[in-house]
């Protein structure tokens, strides 16, 4: 007589089951955040994943290696960094889009239209200041002049002061309610520029620390999300941005 399958007709044996599990582990890859060896546009994404306990490979590419990697299309044809490579191999680009997508995936979104407005208001306020001519010159240019450093410091101080005034209602989150991706953006801005001792012009971070010392409302929001991500913040190394 034909041997009976212990799992029934069409079923799988225990050996088959274990083999399938082994294959699944082999085919499943850890997500990757791919960027340069810096905080920059990837840091908010890293903070969000760390907060949610998502294990990921933090791929850091040396600047001289990037042109060849980009030309080869290793992380998508024509893509700039950062990119997020999902565990199924799908490549996502554009830092803000990645952050918003992951925020939605992990339930870190505004609870209503008013909170959504507050998040967008913060994002647009920052961009209104950073798009001004010379706003980032002391970040990008080594040995910038004192005038250039002051221009960048004034730009950052201006938008942080605007946020401080907006957040005078006592809120602890950007939205005024729910924790969202915007909180990780604020934290990344702070650790990339204000507390970062590795900037190309170290006096810039010194000036920004002096400015934020008087921004009680801004720092309340920063310190709340910082406490949520303390281990990840402590692990950050000084870098050029």
For residue range 94-141, what is the model confidence (pLDDT) as tens digits?
A: 999 999 999 999 999 999 999 999 999 999 999 999 999 999 999 999
* Mean pLDDT, residues 141-152 taken together: 97
The fraction of the chain above a pLDDT of 70, given in percent, is: 88
Query: Which residues, other chains included, contact 35 with Cβ-Cβ below 8 Å and sequence gap of 6+?
Result: 41, 42, 59, 60, 61, 81, 82
pLDDT value at 16 more than 90 = no
Give the per-residue pLDDT at 28. 54
* Mean pLDDT, residues 226-231 taken together: 98
What tokens appear for 22 in the block?
């082994």
* Phi-psi group of 8: left, alpha or beta (phi > 0 → left; psi -120 to 50 → alpha; rest → beta): left
Give the per-residue pLDDT at 29. 82
What tokens appear for 156 in the block?
């950052």
Closest CA to 224 of 186, 169, 168: 186
What tokens appear for 152 in the block?
């960048």
* Phi-psi group of 76: left, alpha or beta (phi > 0 → left; psi -120 to 50 → alpha; rest → beta): left
Instruction: Assign 169 a pLDDT band (cuts: 50, 70, 90).
Output: very high
pLDDT value at 143 more than 50 = yes
Give the per-residue pLDDT at 2. 36
pLDDT value at 92 more than 50 = yes
Give the per-residue pLDDT at 88. 93
Instruction: Assign 234 a pLDDT band (cuts: 50, 70, 90).
Output: very high
The tens digit of pLDDT for each residue in 19-71 reads 444 444 334 589 999 999 999 999 999 999 999 999 999 999 999 999 999 99
pLDDT value at 192 more than 50 = yes
* Phi-psi group of 10: left, alpha or beta (phi > 0 → left; psi -120 to 50 → alpha; rest → beta): left
**C-alpha span between 48 and 43 (Å, rounded):** 9
DSSP 139: H
Q: H/E/C letters for each residue in 144-163?
A: CCHHHHHHHHHHHHHHHHHH
Handedness of CA 112, 123, 199, 54 (dihedral sign): positive
Query: Which residues, other chains included, contact 110 with Cβ-Cβ below 8 Å and sequence gap of 6+?
Result: 116, 118, 119, 175, 177, 178, 180
* Mean pLDDT, residues 196-205 taken together: 97
- CB under 8 Å, gap of 24 or more: what pairs does 131-135 form? none
* Mean pLDDT, residues 4-17 taken together: 40
């Amino acid at each position: 007589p034909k041997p009976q399958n212990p799992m029934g007709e069409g079923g799988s044996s225990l050996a088959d089951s274990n083999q399938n599990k082994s294959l699944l582990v082999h085919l499943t890859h850890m997500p990757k955040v791919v960027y340069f060896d810096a905080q920059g546009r990837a840091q908010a994404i890293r903070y969000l994943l760390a907060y949610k306990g998502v294990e990921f490979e933090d791929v850091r590419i040396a600047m001289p290696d990037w042109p060849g990697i980009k030309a080869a299309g290793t992380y998508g044809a024509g893509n700039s960094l950062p990119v997020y490579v999902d565990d199924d191999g799908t490549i996502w680009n554009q830092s803000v889009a990645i952050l918003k997508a992951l925020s939605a995936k992990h339930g870190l979104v505004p609870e209503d239209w008013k909170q959504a407005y507050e998040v967008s208001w913060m994002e647009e306020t920052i961009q209104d200041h950073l798009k001004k001519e010379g706003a980032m010159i002391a970040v990008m240019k080594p040995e910038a002049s004192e005038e250039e450093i002051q221009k960048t410091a004034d730009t950052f101080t201006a938008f942080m002061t605007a946020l401080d005034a907006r957040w005078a209602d006592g809120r602890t989150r950007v939205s005024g309610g729910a924790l969202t991706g915007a909180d990780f953006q604020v934290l990344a801005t702070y650790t990339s520029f204000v507390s970062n001792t590795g900037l190309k012009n170290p006096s810039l971070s010194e000036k920004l620390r002096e400015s934020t010392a008087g921004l009680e409302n801004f720092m309340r929001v920063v310190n709340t999300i910082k406490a949520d991500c303390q281990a990840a913040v402590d692990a950050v190394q000084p870098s050029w941005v």
